[in-house]
A and B are shown apart, each in its own frame.
Chain A
């Protein structure tokens, strides 16, 4: 099946980096930086050589800064958008903290795209629900944008977004677009409200009663590990098959190439077999969720 947006096959075989040295990063330039929340910064990048990177929603990049190291980061924009692509970096360690000091025009290095993203052929012509908790909205945003840009290829599209509190909400421009959009049934919640918050308060599963999710919906889940179990319990009560649930996992993907072993869960390497897995493929894998 050919992808219309980048005229290549729906396989993950497009790599922009040097096939004779997969460890050699490629330079990008920072086009735009937005301070998303206190800890997170949203970067828009462009390849320094002016090329366009081919990738699929849900794929990851190894993002690096010389001397500081590399970290795996999910792409946060859709390949249907311009010649740029987005990532969001949360300051958690050496590399992310250093990257979050950078400004527009600075260089950032990437290897990728890597890994197995969302199976677009499986998702097309179906009802879609995306359940994103916290920074789980970043990698799923690549798919949200994709669906919004090719809305006619998908049926009903619902999006649940949960944050710890209103100050943790990201992509504020997107949120305001989605709130008023007829293309997505957008439901949001915060675990803890504040004086300005008028919306739903409660964990993400409280949104299920607001949206009547059909049993044949394809569901994508991304968020903190603790969220998965509760969301899947809700989905079970709706009667959604585990074959129709897709989870986006996080691990220590040091090389991104299925070699270094750090992200291994049983016989799977999250960086090449995932990060997006069909839930039925991993539900019996201990250590996965």
Chain B
């Protein structure tokens, strides 16, 4: 599509105009951290954020989402997409959205996700500040982000706005855009190279080498038990992960005790009962009973299990799990580099 330039002084009015047309979600501050939230004013937007607590996946796959409501024997679906623009998504999160797009679409299309996804316009943006735990420069380099509709790059005196789809092009009417010059395009390229050199952490091997070795380490129980020694099975690493998409489903009645709701909630494979089935009379069978097994399952899932399907690892190097883990054991870089040297 096309490449445009918008001056700094015109940017907020561009955002304001978009907000008049539909809901605009972007990074805003929450105490010392950032979160994606519906903008109330363009000034709230913090495109200089490093990483958000939760990934933008929540806009299509809410942390708790009604799947079905019932009244006696009658039931109906709850798919009710809202048109929105998600502004300021970093490239690693776009890669993750590409993955959940594929996973929710493959084999059985899950329109509870896909309808929300299709109603969204995604404007990616360059990474102005790199989170201290990020390693996006060294993971899954063979996978390129493709699910965004436009890409915004902060230049010295304004923003480069590259449209990639009709949805993205459709936004141009909201701002005072001009065609970008070759110099501005060149400046954007170098701006986008910068964060790739600023990751404090890095994997030292290719995705393929890692997948092979990680997969082979399955039976290395002492490694996994040692790695998971301080694991709380708290699921924080799962919940903050942009490529995790597991969920639990629960039913509840409304106060009238006749109508109610079936709801899905984000779940985590690190939690104790995740793979547990009831056998009756209080007996259970837990297919991943020990914390080392659950810890291993997550690393396997990120580094090996889904690679064939996704064309690369199911990890984008955002570093959210590393910062969310209070005993600091979830960091895939530490686990994988250690495993590769073992």
Contacts and interface: CB of A to CB of B under 8 A. Distances in A.
Q: Do A and B bind each other?
A: yes
Given A21-B77, A25-B75, A267-B308, A252 B275 contact: yes
Contacts, number: 121
A180 B203 CA distance: 66
A173 interface: no
A250 interface: yes
Interface string A119-133: 000000000000000
Given A67-B253, A93-B278, A21 B111 contact: yes
B112 A21 contact: yes
A24 B68 contact: yes
Nearest to B285: A225
Interface string B138-157: 00000000000000000000
Interface stretch (B2-10, B99-107, B121-129): B99-107
B279 interface: yes
Contacts of A254: 247-249
B306 interface: yes
Contacts of B269: 261, 264
Interface residues of A, number: 42
Contact of A70 (B107, B108, B249): B249
A24 B76 contact: yes
A66 B75 contact: yes
A272 B108 contact: yes
Interface residues of B, number: 54
Given A21-B77, A267-B305, A287-B288, A257 B246 contact: no
A20 B111 contact: yes
Contacts of B250: 69
Contacts of B79: 20-21
Interface string B262-275: 10100101000011
Given A20-B111, A68-B251, A92-B279, 18 more contacts: A20-B77, A22-B110, A24-B68, A27-B73, A66-B73, A66-B262, A67-B260, A69-B249, A255-B247, A255-B249, A259-B103, A259-B108, A260-B248, A264-B269, A264-B301, A266-B305, A267-B306, A287-B287
Interface of A: 18-25, 27, 39, 64, 66-70, 90-93, 107, 109, 225, 250-252, 254-255, 257-267, 272, 286-287
11 contacts: A19-B109, A20-B79, A21-B79, A22-B108, A66-B73, A66-B75, A67-B70, A69-B251, A69-B262, A252-B287, A267-B305
